[in-house]
Amino acid sequence: MNSRQETAAAILAEWELIQSQLSPLFRVRDQKNTQEWMEKGINLFLQFLFLTNHETFLSSNEIRFDQFLFKPVNLEERINFINSRPGLYHSYRQLSELMLEQEKQFVKSNIIKKSSRSVT
């Protein structure tokens, strides 16, 4: 396993931990305590997005989502919704879906990279 794959595995493992914290909080409608976990989850998703696209993630930078080749559909609208309403269950579901879709994009980027190497 290369370092990108190891990093992706670590991100997905951390996401599992965050989900295990968020799920019960949303079940009891504890919006106040979901904020911190949602922020961690959003940050983790952004790290995964940058990793997938072979970019370096710097949280202080303004993010231009159109620069990414491998990203979920309607990413900018979806991430803006999540950021504006992190305490909503729908935002949590949306973030969960983004992580699943980004995992598929990561696999796709690896396949494309491997196939381009074998051609040249």
Between 99 and 117, the higher pLDDT residue? 99
* pLDDT at 120 > cutoff 60: no
Half-sphere exposure at residue 34, Cβ-oriented, CA atoms within 13 angstroms: 23
Q: What is the pTM of this model?
A: 0.90
Between 59 and 26, the higher pLDDT residue? 26
Residue 117 CA to residue 67 CA, distance in Å, equals 23
pLDDT in tens, 87-115: 999 999 999 999 999 999 999 999 988 88
Q: What mean pLDDT comes out for the span 76-94?
A: 95
pLDDT in tens, 10-22: 999 999 999 999 9
What does the pLDDT read at residue 61?
A: 65
Distances (CA, A) of 114 to 40, 59, 85, 109, 111: 31, 29, 39, 9, 5
Token match 């991430």: residue?
79
Q: What mean pLDDT comes out for the span 38-61?
A: 90
* pLDDT at 44 > cutoff 90: yes
